[in-house]
Structures are given as C-alpha cells and as structure tokens.
Chain A
Amino acid sequence: MAQVTLDAVRKLYPNGHEAVQPSGFTIQDGEFMVLVGPSGCGKSTILRMIAGLEEVSEGTISIGDRVVNDVDPADRNIAMVFQNYALYPHMTVERNMGYGLKNRGMPNAEIAEKVREAAAMLNLSEYLDRRPSQLSGGQRQRVAMGRAIVREPALFLFDEPLSNLDAKLRNQMRIEVRSLQRRLGTTAVYVTHDQVEAMTMADRIIVLNGGRIEQIGTPSEIYDRPASTFVASFMGAPPLNILEACAVGGSVLADGGEQALADANGHSDGALMFGVRPEDVTVGTGPHSFDVEIVEELGANRLLHGKLYGQAFSVSVPKDREARTGPVPVSVRPDMVHLFSAEDGRRL
C-alpha cells in the first residue's frame, strides 16, 4: 500500500521530443487512478517512468516515502500488466505467475500456495498446467493479473490491459479488474485511450493531451465541469457539442444565430466557445431551430445529428420520443452550459 507522488516530472527524449511536460500529482493510497488521452499524449510514458522502465529526465517520483528515480524496477515493489500480456510463452500458467517470487528467493512451497490462492481468485485453478498459447485472450489477461497479484505489490500498473480483448469481454474484465483492485485495496495506475474505461473504472482521472495534464478529477467532475474544450470533446460519448459563439450584451449567441443560447455570466463581449452535452438539450419547444440530418438508433435512446445555426450539433432524445429528419425546435438547459475561451479553449 502506498501513495505515489510525481513532482515536476518531465520526459525529454535525446532527439529533443518532450513526451511529458513538467507535471505533478499525487495518487492516494488505495486509489484507482486512470491516465487517459489520445495516442502520443504521454500517458504510457508516465506509467513507464513510474515503473522504472523509462528514465525520468527531471523531477522526482516517490512511491510511499521513498524517492524511486534511481531504483531498479524490480525493487520498486510494483507489478505491471501489459497490453499484450507479456506472458512467458514457454512457461505454464503456474510458473508464469510464480516467476517473480522465485527470483526473490521465496521457498517453492510458499510460491505454490500464493499462486493457488491467486488462481482461485481469478478462476484459473484448472489452467495452472497450461501454456499461455492454450488459453483464450481473457484467460491470458487473467494470468497477467495473477502474476501481478501474487507479488502483493504496493502499486499496480496497467498499460491498456483490455485493448486486445473483444468488446463484450472487455466490459466484463473492466468490472473484474475494478472489483479485484477494490478487494485488495492496492493503489493502481491505469492507462487507457478509452474514455469509457476511464469513466467507469476510475476513482480519479487524469486527462492528458500532448504531454500536458489537461485536468485531474473524479469522473463526474470531469464530465460535469470539463476544464477545456479538449477534455469536453474527449470525455463522453457522444462528445459535448461545441459551437463557435460570441458574447454580446450579456448573452451568448452562436455565430450565425439570432437567439441567445445562454447567459454570458458576466463575461465581457467577444468570441468564445459554447458547449452543451447532447442530453442537456430539450427537443420540441424552444427558440432554436435544429436541422436534423441523421437519426442514430442506440436502443435506449436516439441520437440526432444535424446543424444548429450552420454548425455541427447532436442531440440525444429518449427512445419513446419520435424523431425524424428536418428542422425541429430545441432549447438548451441553462444550468448545463459550458463556456470556453476562444483563444486557448480553457473553461471560463
């Protein structure tokens, strides 16, 4: 059990590429922290620096009370689960899980005991004699988890562990991973590019973009109060609608629109970005004319895609509401409006 602290950590590659700009945050003991962002945003680099697989260019990383910048990965008391599982192909499940313990000089009987325990927890007991190639993707992923668990580390590191699984299995493993981490109470850092995984699994989320932290917060904070247009459009499916707009005389108007979308909340006149979630738009009544072009059936609800004042816009309506293409009147829930700066996209 440990808390993890990154203090002004920076990663600069010899070719001059700055993969991670100086960033700092603290992961509390027992917390499930998800790093999310598009590919190349530096999330894996941060994870690999915590693991010790990548050197830290500047700043310090501490696990517990110990600064681990120069500590070997094996001595950091961590366990890592890789995207492609990275199981030893020539070893049985049992030996795969016990290899790390064997290298630490634990007696064989004790290793067997711990491996059996972990295998029972992961429903792998029948497969202990198999090789990884004889297992399905989900089972391999469980073996990789088992290898992490038996070590009883202070910190779990997950590097997109579910990306190689099919969608159904991924949903199931998501819950398994989460409940396992809860039960063990071990601090976890989880890297993913999938915002659904981030939202559903995390205690807190760190959204990264271009090597920079955009926002740190709980899933509901991130969803309800995105710190920038990047976070707003990255988190949530369908993404937040963003319209180019301007504040005029105390109210916000979409570019090309005549009716006020929202109150300017005291922001001075000028260009800004107006955002609203597709589910925070009411269809049927209202001052705005939304031109529906495509209706997407999602089962539980319908997504209407089209144009509002000439800009791309989406609205989510419940399934019991009829929808067809053509102009419909809509209104925006005034308390669910997000305003962002037109220059840097930060929240106003």
Chain B
Amino acid sequence: MAEATLDTPATAPARTRRIRWSVVFDHLILMAGAFLMLAPTVYAFITTSHDAVTIHREGLQLGFGDKMGENFHNAMFVPGGFTQTVDGTLMLMNSFILGIGFALGKIIISMMAAYAIVYFRLRFATLAFWVIFTTLLLPLEVRILPSYEAIQQLGLTNTYTGLIVPLIASATGTFFFRQYFRSVPEELVEAARIDGAGPVKFFIDVLVPLSRTMIAAIFIIMFVFGWNQYLWPTLMTTDESFFTLVRGIKQIVLSYTDSQIPEHGQALALAIVAMIPPVAIVIFFQSWFVKGLTESDK
C-alpha cells in the first residue's frame, strides 16, 4: 500500500485508467445482480396499487394505480381466510414469534451444547460433536413424519411450542459456537477459576458477553431461516390464528377462489410486508454480522 501511494504521481494517469475499467466492470456485474434481485420486488410492489380485476385481466403492472392504500389496509387489518378470524397483523405477529423464538431457541441450545463439548472433559465429547454434526444430513424434511407424529401425540399442534421447539436443535449453531469457544484463550478460563467463577458463572459472566457478536450473527441467520419456514408451520397449524405470513399469503389467495377473482393485490401486499423484517434485521445488524463471523479479538 505504502509503495502504491508513493509512486502515484508518476504513474497516476495509466493507473487510474486501468482501475477505472475494472471498477466499471465490477459495478456492471453488481448492478446486473441488484437489478435481477430487485426488479421482481419492485414489479410486485407497483402491482399492489391495482385492484384484483385489473391484475387478473392484464397481469402485473408497471404503472402505479390508485388502490395501494386500500390493498395494504385490507391485507393487514381486515380479517380474512376461511374462518374470517385472521388478519395480516396477527400473521405478522405469529411470524415474529416463530422467527425470534426459533432464533433464540437455537442460540441457547447450541451455545450450551458447544459449552459442554468444549469445556467439560466428557467421555466421547468428540464423538458427541460429530453425531450432532451429522444431523446436518437429516434436515426437517427427512424426519417430518416422525416429528409430526411426536408433536401430535404430545398435543402440541396449533401451539407456539409445537411450532418452535422441534426446530431449535441446531448443528450449524453448535458448530459455530464450538469453533468460537475453542479460540477463547485457555488463560481466561483459568483466571476465572481462580477468581472463583464456577461453570455457570463463567458461562454467563464471561462466555456469553464475549460471544455477543457471534450471537448477533447467528441470530440474523436463524431469524431469517425461521421467518421463512413454510413446510413445518403448514403441517403444524390448522387453526388459522396461528398462521404465519409466509404461510398465510397463499391462504388468502385460495379462500377467495370460489366465485370471485383472487385478491392478487392483497397477496402481493402481504408478500411485500413479509419481506421487510428479515431485510431490516440484516441491514441493521450488518456490522455486527460481519464482526461476528470475521473478528477474532478476544
């Protein structure tokens, strides 16, 4: 770097041009990517400003109509669905409960598992870790029938517990925390032992605060993952008041099919609403996220 700065005056024109071309090229790729990602969203957002008839007849729209406020209002606040008991706000709340419960549960469980594996002289600790790790090969979709059967027999269908608990064991989280704990200096543990901190105190007073960037990073990943869950909520919740947004969008469209035109505008409005929280969380916690996955300052 220093060298580059020093000889800048002599070679500035050539250097600037070369850098400019590569920068232009990079930006073209980035812009193309951004366009591909954003265009459908913008398209959907604009279309929410039209009524169902227009959308049904003419497809997605590129110009703004005058029904946006009405569509969002209806989607969020007017009870719909088969039983007419669930509106967008309730579904949004359900989604938050699932997303946050899912993320917190995963963090708590995986942190404690990693703590046990790293800091306690367990028999077969490594084996236990690899057993946990291989469950990555058995995602929910593979074990969905037995999981459903178990929860159903426990009478936990249509409860938040049933929605969240079966999903919170996390090999990924355990793995991340294990790697992180292993990088915490041994002396810190010893200093804490001499300072009279037992295992629980050390965990709560030292390890948890030390891992906060890591926790934030995993929280983001897991929140988005939980928020976007579709299959499990679909199986678990038959009571519409437990519907999440991701699951509810479809329900709204379906329930109108009998004799009416589906409320495309409202469904798109819900889809837009469903996108906002994960995006907002990622934007707000971005710096933490990067820190958590890259920083090693202990």
| Closest Cβ–Cβ distance, residue A85 to chain B (whole Å) | 8
A134 at the interface (CB under 8 A from B): no
**Residues of chain B with a CB closer than 8 A to A100's CB:** 194-196
Interchain CB contact (< 8 A) of B196 among A74, A80, A84, A87: A74
Interface readout for A60-89 with B: 1 if CB under 8 Å, 0 if not? 000000000000111000111011101111
Question: In the complex the two chains form, is A86's CB within 8 Å of B210's CB?
Answer: no
Question: In the complex the two chains form, is B210's CB within 8 Å of A73's CB?
Answer: no
Question: In the complex the two chains form, is B210's CB within 8 Å of A90's CB?
Answer: yes
| Closest Cβ–Cβ distance, residue B116 to chain A (whole Å) | 20
Q: Identify the closest chain B residue to A95 (Cβ).
A: B205
B297 at the interface (CB under 8 A from A): yes
Interface of B is mostly: helix
Question: In the complex the two chains form, is A86's CB within 8 Å of B196's CB?
Answer: no
- Known: A88-B206, A89-B210, A89-B297. Is A74-B193 also a contact (CB below 8 A)? yes
Residues 14-28 (chain B) with a chain A CB within 8 angstroms? none
Enumerate the 3 nearest inter-chain pairs by beta-carbon distance, A residue then B residue, closest first. Answer: A86-B187, A100-B195, A74-B196
CA distance A78 to B187 in the complex (A): 15
Interchain CB contact (< 8 A) of B193 among A73, A88, A104: A73
**Residues of chain A with a CB closer than 8 A to B195's CB:** 74, 99-100, 103, 147
Q: Identify the closest chain A residue to B186 (Cβ).
A: A86
Question: In the complex the two chains form, is B206's CB within 8 Å of A104's CB?
Answer: no
**Residues of chain A with a CB closer than 8 A to B205's CB:** 88, 99
A184 at the interface (CB under 8 A from B): no
Question: In the complex the two chains form, is B187's CB within 8 Å of A84's CB?
Answer: yes
**Residues of chain B with a CB closer than 8 A to A86's CB:** 185, 187-188, 190-191
Count A interface residues, CB 8 Å: 23
Question: In the complex the two chains form, is B197's CB within 8 Å of A79's CB?
Answer: no
Count B interface residues, CB 8 Å: 19
B56 at the interface (CB under 8 A from A): no
Interchain CB contact (< 8 A) of A103 among B187, B201, B210, B298: B201
A39 at the interface (CB under 8 A from B): no
CA distance A72 to B206 in the complex (A): 19
Question: In the complex the two chains form, is A82's CB within 8 Å of B196's CB?
Answer: no
| Closest Cβ–Cβ distance, residue B210 to chain A (whole Å) | 6
B209 at the interface (CB under 8 A from A): yes
Question: In the complex the two chains form, is A82's CB within 8 Å of B297's CB?
Answer: no
| Closest Cβ–Cβ distance, residue A326 to chain B (whole Å) | 46
CA distance A108 to B187 in the complex (A): 26
Q: Identify the closest chain B residue to A78 (Cβ).
A: B194
Residues 89-110 (chain A) with a chain B CB within 8 angstroms? 89-90, 99-100, 103-104
CA distance A51 to B187 in the complex (A): 12
CA distance A78 to B19 in the complex (A): 61
Question: In the complex the two chains form, is A82's CB within 8 Å of B190's CB?
Answer: yes
**Residues of chain A with a CB closer than 8 A to B209's CB:** 90
- A sample of 24 inter-chain contacts (CB < 8 A) reads A51-B190, A74-B195, A78-B194, A82-B187, A82-B190, A82-B191, A83-B187, A86-B185, A86-B187, A86-B188, A86-B190, A86-B191, A88-B188, A88-B205, A90-B206, A90-B209, A90-B210, A99-B197, A99-B205, A103-B197, A103-B201, A104-B196, A133-B297, A147-B191
Q: Identify the closest chain B residue to A148 (Cβ).
A: B194
Interface readout for B162-198 with A: 1 if CB under 8 Å, 0 if not? 0000000000000000000000010110111111110
Q: Identify the closest chain A residue to B205 (Cβ).
A: A99
CA distance A147 to B188 in the complex (A): 13
A53 at the interface (CB under 8 A from B): yes
Name 6 extra pairs, CB < 8 A, besides A103-B195, A104-B196. A82-B190, A84-B185, A86-B188, A90-B212, A100-B195, A100-B196
Question: In the complex the two chains form, is A89's CB within 8 Å of B298's CB?
Answer: yes
CA distance A26 to B207 in the complex (A): 38
Residues 147-167 (chain A) with a chain B CB within 8 angstroms? 147
| Closest Cβ–Cβ distance, residue B131 to chain A (whole Å) | 25
CA distance A26 to B190 in the complex (A): 25
**Residues of chain B with a CB closer than 8 A to A99's CB:** 192, 195, 197, 205
CA distance A83 to B186 in the complex (A): 12
